[in-house]
Amino acid sequence: MSGEFLDNHGRGSASWRWPTVHPEGRKFGAIVLGAAALAALFGWSLLAWPLLGLTVFVLAFFRDPLRVVPQGPGLVIAPADGLVTLIQQVAPPRELTMDDGSGTPALSGAVVTRVSIFMSVFDVHINRAPVGGTVRRVIYIPGKFLNADLDKASDENERQHILVDDGNGLMVGFTQIAGLVARRIIPFVKPGDIIAVGQRVGLIRFGSRVDVYLPAGSDCLVLLGQKVVAGETVLAEVGRQLTREGLSQ
């Protein structure tokens, strides 16, 4: 079904399939599997079985399932799988608003809604573009490895800012943030790349968070505590403002 158009009237076809494993994870899976095979060869079954289980976990962690990406003007799509842990009014990071001397557009420094999505080690860790357009900035910042669920992780942890300009006046910035276990942020894109909404743009190894800065004049369409799906869940629609409420049960 990859590349096929599907709609809410039944057009297209869909069926369940095993998710592929991203190439970044295949080498880790091969290393652990090799260690399990070596342990089995020497008769160390007490070590071989846990290593075999770890191989399955590693391959599952790097799974890369297909997603059906909503299409439409002004839609901002979730860039990460996980739990919405923070929805706050903040100014965007300086790296996304400052004049970097390149002449490329930047975000306004005005206060906007920031949606923070926490990824546990059980979530898919492939990150996707919240909007389509031209990648204006990819800025990596080394830092700490605090719990990614903490508010201050946005300013103190290892992180990577990405700014996408759709060419029609809509720019969305988002930040990949390393966590306690995550130790590397891997980009798939660079400044100047033209990408589609929902396209894979990077991954973070082993538990982390992604912050999205919604365009001004747009309310968040997801709820605090809600699970979202990268490339599928609509976080906001430009110009649409409303209050939504939910009940935990």
Catalytic residues: 208
Question: In 10 A of CB 103, how many CB atoms?
Answer: 6
**Residue 47: DSSP 8-state:** H
The span from the CA of 21 to the CA of 62, in Å, is 6
Q: Which two tokens stand for residue 116?
A: 């923070």
Residue 43, SS3 per DSSP: coil
Torsion, CA 28, CA 30, CA 31, CA 33, rounded to 10? 120
Report the alpha-carbon distance of residue 217 to residue 194 in Å, rounded. Answer: 25
* C-alpha span between 185 and 183 (Å, rounded): 7
